[in-house]
Amino acid sequence: MIQTRKLAIACPQCGSADVFYSCTPNCCYNHVCADCGTTFEPATTLKGGTISGVIPPEPPPDATDPTTECAKCTSNAVYMTEDGGVVCGKCGAILVLEITEIAPG
């Protein structure tokens, strides 16, 4: 079993960890940096391979915590492993996090 933690995404512009998700998964993945106002959208690509027995973070992420979508099954249950990897909690796909649509604030 693999214990995971909530996804943590640093601002691609200033490196701040104070980033929040400002939309809903059925719309877009627009995130905003609370420090510099930069907006961006995280996305995932498949790294290859799967992990079985992914344990979701406890407590689970809030609605404004950073989130993204699994490139394989489109689930929002994308978490980080202890070693900083990114994995889908639903299908177990090992993912690579990418930051797209960067718009400096």
The contact set with Zn ion (CB under 5 A) reads: 11, 13-14, 16, 33, 35-36, 38, 70, 72-73, 75, 88, 90-91, 93
Which residue, 70 or 86, has its beta carbon nearer to Zn ion? 70
Dist. CA 23–CA 82, nearest whole Å: 27
Q: How far is the CB of 88 from Zn ion (least distance, A)?
A: 3
C-alpha closest to that of 80 among 7, 11, 10, 9: 7
Of residues 23 and 103, the one with the C-beta less far from Zn ion: 103
Cβ-proximal residues to 69 (8 Å cutoff; 6+ apart), any chain:
25, 29, 43, 44, 75, 76, 78
DSSP letter at 60? P
Least distance between Zn ion and beta carbon 31 (Å): 10
CB of 62 to Zn ion, least distance (A): 20
